[in-house]
Structure 1
């Protein structure tokens, strides 16, 4: 423990040595330290709260000073080039603001300066205030001692007697030093082609990673990583990274300012956003989590994975491993019946599935996607005795039971819509765009929130349901809020997500054993806001095993494999008609949480034998895959035929290396794959996952150092084949 400093206006509190928040007496500098990372900020002579340092640890004995800024020209006066921690849109600011407002008297100038601060353990709170108006912004900083991940958020408060119009609000603004060698990495794509990693130079041209869809979206994910050209690689070099914990429209902006510094801002998307902040009202942002690693993109990923497992996911480190599930969609689509599902359940249990999930079609008049959505009562024609006989059957087979739901949407052809046409997001008197024959319910309304929570609560209370697959199959359009005052309709973007979170939180509180999967037509709503409330996510509707290797590679740049579901489905695959072997499909899907979505009715005896073998093998490595350290040894890329990933257990007693071949040519002679993450002096016995002899030339036992320097070579030939090697500590 560090000794207690008492001094005004700054104090150092007694806190653990591994993490500390320091405000040195008289120095007007704050620093947050954790796991080899230092984040520093300070107050300059004009009262601005300034960014100073974000990166590797600064020695405690070394000075941290607020840099002096000089006016580069009359076109860029000093206030506009001061790297403020949370600038208001005032004094001619031309970079992205932390907050932009319009006061009731028409004034749009907001200048925020330091007023006070407080230190509580690993949390620093700083209050900024406008130089004239009774308007404040309270910034909250917390650092994690084990990963050095910084959590930042802001709360604004209107202390005046008249409303203030908020037009833009960020959770945080970050600054990196001047440089022309920064490279921005982000994840983008579209439905069934999510999680494509893009890398672009950081320049004075603003790059906006955003969604305007009302949900996170398939197109851009609220995550970024910035490295340096020629210095940052997969396992070496500096990386600054972060993600916004928000499941609605968002924006992360990145650009150089006029002095060459990199400015990063993240928060609510200002597109079509406005919030009438009433007298005495506050508005809080989501949390922006950010970190630094000097071990490349791989080090950044593993650090973020560790943080998510420890602090973001429900139940944290106590969370259960993801069971092997079977989902009935591809087998039956909407043709769901009690007898048909029982037959599938018997086959799923026979291959080792641990969870049986009935997908769309079990409720209302749901024989297609044209009707019934919103009427969440069991279809009596399909289940004349309710769900209980099926649930009892599933449980008697040793599996738990799950259901697909889509609580946020409604078909116009439904009893719910006929009763409450005003419950959907729309502009009165304007067209209502339908997608998949459905509209979006307005969860921002208190009555809609109560209705959705009510039927979900009854469904889980009246049935022995262990799992819900929570799906969303369309984005917002015509984002109106009928019945709300015109000046408050754009609160929709925030209130909807807040109520979504409240429904999920309350449902989990009432049913502590319930597990939930987050899905939005695949990866359309994957973010830290949802991950705090669901146990797993569905990264993509594209289940082609080769495409999935690239999807999984992109996904794990930002998010932990422990949350990533991957299914074995039928071949040819629906997404691209590609034909692959069942072995290859299993080896691809086993690199996350394993599920099976194939039509078991059409399987032959050899298919069942293959599946039984691989599911049993997966269970022997499941803790390592889902909770271990991930090393992307060779990422899938059009320029290489082979990809490889390695998962290493937390105690380094087990590891598994997956090597996957896309295609080979007659002259191919691929080199050995070099494992990473093993304990150098530990001796490891290696075996083939799923059985079989080791390829010629590979020793049975060797040290971790041997494997990591000599490598391992699977002589794969053909198209879409793979192999997995298991390393286990030997006496």
Structure 2
């Protein structure tokens, strides 16, 4: 059994494929963490790992004597202990798991062991996304119930593992049986205490158009924290964190990963104390949060996913990729090949009509596109971004035949139609606002804050969600829509709901997220054939919680390959490429004005869901020919890219050679029969240079045939234009390619690329 309890030693042991997690019940029911690391197959008693420094040494720690202790007993110091789930006000002065106020105003929470059970199956969280076990997979869950020493307040801790995976899923359910309300001020999903090594902390930072850039720095005393108070994950940081040895690489070193399955305000932190222990903590951000838990009620925290690797960052990432792809993403589009699409936004913005959309679709079909997405501007009286959001009926001036008429014309081309919605916001210049101004989020007596000329809809209220859902469902029912892009173009401000009492306004942010989840679950259940892609001004809500409802999320509004290298590299540390919305866009790029070849733009998009964001009428015949080649390559290697293993080879954050920054990566099919190698030169190389790169993940016993696609450049008389060329590279063994590596000659010029197909013979 992957989960066991030793009655004699009171030690719980949880095994994943390659890791072991252990904790114990000490005297008086105090729960102490023991170990999280490389798998231990020996079933020896691990209770000796409890830290001796946690007994009374008043010179170092506050002296705490529990009432049950007898004279002469060693003092117990919670602040020095490795904890599983700690309560506030009881002597642990680090980030605590649970903080709140009882009816008498007191805040001390002293959690002790009450009971436990080990059950088959994965833990489920009502109204929240969570990891699930597929048919045929075995999952096991430990439910550990802790109880406050003085009050009938319980914390049920859930630990789930799935056979074949290295991830440990944790969450907490707070149950109030005190006979009076309990005010939760903070309820984290998990803490993990780890004895310090020479750790680095990897976090993700950014802004709109530059999401999830990598920050790796040595841990320091105090707390390194990534947070959001924007009401959603935000562009500024991500609700994931990696702790790794300072010397850890892609292929070696111990690494711990933590990610929160949530789409609202969060905190993720690593805290190094004076005794050189690190506490990982993640959960709902306490800022702006307070939950009134009535007697007899329960509160579920979001799920946290933890993982450990002793073989570097690559193994850690691939474990997260597999879990998210197959145990978070759901429905038809988890496994089926998703269509190659073209989005109308960069081609037309708001300036389009039915004929223009059909023209875009017809042109895109020439290079293999299968679905047209009609983006913002199709509804109400929408001609710019200052009106009509909330009125989800077609603009008759733009769409005289309605959506059904447009659908027919697109379907007649042998293509499908997708459509854009922004269900969470409302324009003041809209019929919906004129009829229901109370649907908007506003604080009475205050002028509301606007974003993109929009107010927020109060998604905490069912009648508001029902109104928007019914409008969206009518569009999807009346016409054969195959795809929906769900956008959210602003952060939450003025958090207040007319439906909540004054002592419940601190519940707004979390209830808002629960409302969004409920809406998306209805779409998922009632329109299972529709591919849902989330977006939030690009990658502002790129998180595992959203991936439970939409298997792909628009990764960033920045479609420039030079920037996408960093964005997608950072995202790949946690998230699989199958979730990264990525398109071939105009050159020069509308965000950065950088030029890039079709191959470079295509390679960038292939490290994601691959699609197009341009007007075919503005492309040359040569470009369209190269786009068709790229589309066919993507379709050919779809399952290797989206369901194979991903290897980062050269980081765009580092200087690979003195005169150039390079980004290189590789996809390998699960059976190791095929692979795809990609390399992009981000900066100019003054002169052609030799470059060697070792491949990964191949079968050393197999022989592979290599075919190369690469950028080449015409001479001065042709204006130094770039075109796509190809050549056979030869036949090599997997062993040679992984040990001696590929020998490539770098090309002169920015954004020059190479793509190599490997097929086993």
TM over 0.5: yes
Task: Please say if residues 309 and 317 of structure 1, whose CA atoms lie closer than 8 Å, have aligned partners that are also in contact.
Answer: no
Q: In 2 relative to 1, CA 27–316 (structure 1 residues): closer, same or farther, beyond 3 Å?
A: farther
Match of 2:400? 384
Query: Which of the numbers 211, 216, 239 marks the counterpart of 1:222?
Result: 239
Q: Deviations over 1:69-97 (max 9, x none)?
A: 22343543312222220111122321111
Q: 1:694 aligns with which of 716, 727, 733?
A: 727
Correspondences of 1:511-526 after superposition (within 5 Å): 511-526=527-542
Q: Which residue of 2 aligns with 1:505?
A: 521
Does 1:32 pair with 2:14?
yes
- Post-superposition CA distance 1:117-155 (Å, at most 9, x none): 000131100000000111100000001221220000000
1:76 paired with 2:62, answer: yes
- 1:116-155 equivalent positions in 2, closer than 5 A: 116-121=115-120, 122-155=140-173
| SS of equivalent to 1:725 | strand
1:595-606 matches, cutoff 5 A: 595-606=611-622
Contact 1:102 1:108 in 2 (8 A): yes
C-alpha displacement at 1:729, in angstroms? 0.6
Structure 2 alignment gaps of length 5 or more: 64-76, 121-139, 711-723
C-alpha displacement at 1:689, in angstroms?
4.2
Instruction: Name the structure 2 match of 1:588.
Output: 604
Give 1:63 shift.
Answer: 2.5
2:192 is aligned to 174
**Structure 2 length-normalised TM:** 0.91
Cross-structure match for 1:158? 176
CA contact (8 A) 2:24 2:31 kept: yes
Helix, strand or coil at the partner of 1:610: helix
Give the C-alpha shift of residue 319 in structure 1. 2.1
Q: Distance in 1 between matches of 2:214 and 2:245?
A: 16
CA distance in 1, matches of 2:646, 2:332: 18
- The SS at the match of 2:706 is strand
Conservation of the 8 A alpha-carbon contact between 1:689 and 1:725? yes
Asked if 1:360 is matched to 2:360, the reply is no
- Looking at structure 2, the residues matched to 364 and 274 of structure 1 have their Cα atoms a distance apart, in angstroms, of 38
> Which residue of structure 2 aligns with residue 706 of structure 1?
736
Structure 1 distance, partners of 2:332, 2:574, is 17
Give, in whole Å, the separation in 2 of the partners of 1:578 and 1:715.
23
Equivalences for residues 176-195 of structure 1 within 5 A: 176-179=194-197, 181-195=198-212
Contact 1:170–1:268, Cα closer than 8 Å, also in 2: yes
Equivalent position to 1:424, from 435, 440, 449: 440
Alignment of 1:302-341 (within 5 A): 302-315=318-331, 319-341=335-357
- 2:471 pairs with 1:455: yes
Does residue 725 of the first structure (1) align with residue 756 of the second (2)? Answer: yes
> In 2, distance between residues paired with 1:462 and 1:315?
22
Q: CA deviation at 1:566?
A: 1.0
Name the SS of the counterpart of 2:507 in structure 1: helix
Structure 1 range deviating more: 610-619 or 464-473: 610-619
Give me the whole-angstrom Cα distance separating, in 2, the residues matched to 1:276 and 1:419: 32
CA contact (8 A) 1:561 1:627 kept: no
Instruction: Give the structure-1-normalised TM-score.
Output: 0.94
CA–CA distance in structure 2, aligned partners of residues 281 and 586 of structure 1: 52
Structure 1: state its 5+ residue gaps: 1-14
Cα gap change, 1:219/1:245 in structure 2, threshold over 3 Å: closer, same or farther?
A: same
- Matched residue SS, 1:46: helix
Q: C-alpha distance in 1, partners of 2:684/2:448?
A: 51
Q: Deviations over 1:667-700 (max 9, x none)?
A: 56242111111000001111124885437xx4x1
Query: Equivalent residue for 2:125?
Result: none
Measured after TM superposition, the shift of residue 577 of structure 1 is: 1.4
8 Å CA contact 2:333–2:551 kept in 1: the answer is no
Q: Distance in 1 between the 2:338 and 2:727 partners? A: 29
| SS of structure 2 residue aligned to 1:572 | coil
C-alpha distance in 1 between matches for 2:488 and 2:687? 47
- CA 1:71–1:202 in structure 2 vs 1: closer, same or farther (change >3 Å)? farther
CA contact (8 A) 1:81 1:258 kept: no
Contact 1:310-1:316 within 8 A present in 2 as well = no
- Deviation of 1:182 after TM superposition, in Å, equals 1.2
Equivalents in 1 of 2:527, 2:81: separation in Å?
Answer: 50
Cα gap change, 1:43 to 1:135, in 2 (>3 Å): same
Give a deviation string over 1:463-503, Cα, whole Å, max 9, x none: 11111000110001121223421101111111111111111
Distance in 2 between residues matched to 1:479 and 1:601, nearest whole Å: 45
The 3-state SS of whatever aligns with 2:346 is: helix
Residues 498-520 of structure 1: CA distance to partner in whole angstroms, max 9, x if unpaired?
11111111111111111100110
Deviations 1:39-91 (A, max 9, x none): 11111113111111111111233321151422343543312222220111122
Please give the per-residue CA displacement for 1:522-564, whole angstroms capped at 9, x wherever unaligned.
1100111111110211110000011111111011111011111
- Count of residue pairs brought into register by the alignment: 707
In structure 1, the partner of 2:493 is 477
User: Matches of 1:615 and 1:705 in 2, distance apart?
Assistant: 30
1:61 corresponds, among 43, 64, 80, to 43
Aligned to 1:200: 217
Instruction: Tell whether 2:101 aligns with 1:102.
Output: yes
2:170 and 2:6 map into 1 onto residues whose CA distance is 21
Give the aligned partner of residue 680 of structure 1: 700
User: What is the Cα deviation at residue 712 of structure 1?
Assistant: 1.4
Question: After TM superposition, where is structure 1 displaced by more than 6 Å over at least 4 residues in a row?
Answer: none
Does residue 296 of structure 2 align to residue 263 of structure 1?
no
Residues 524-563 of structure 1 aligned to structure 2 (within 5 Å): 524-563=540-579
Relative to structure 1, the CA distance from residue 318 to residue 219 in structure 2 (aligned partners, 3 Å threshold; closer, same or farther) is: closer
RMSD of aligned alpha carbons:
1.6
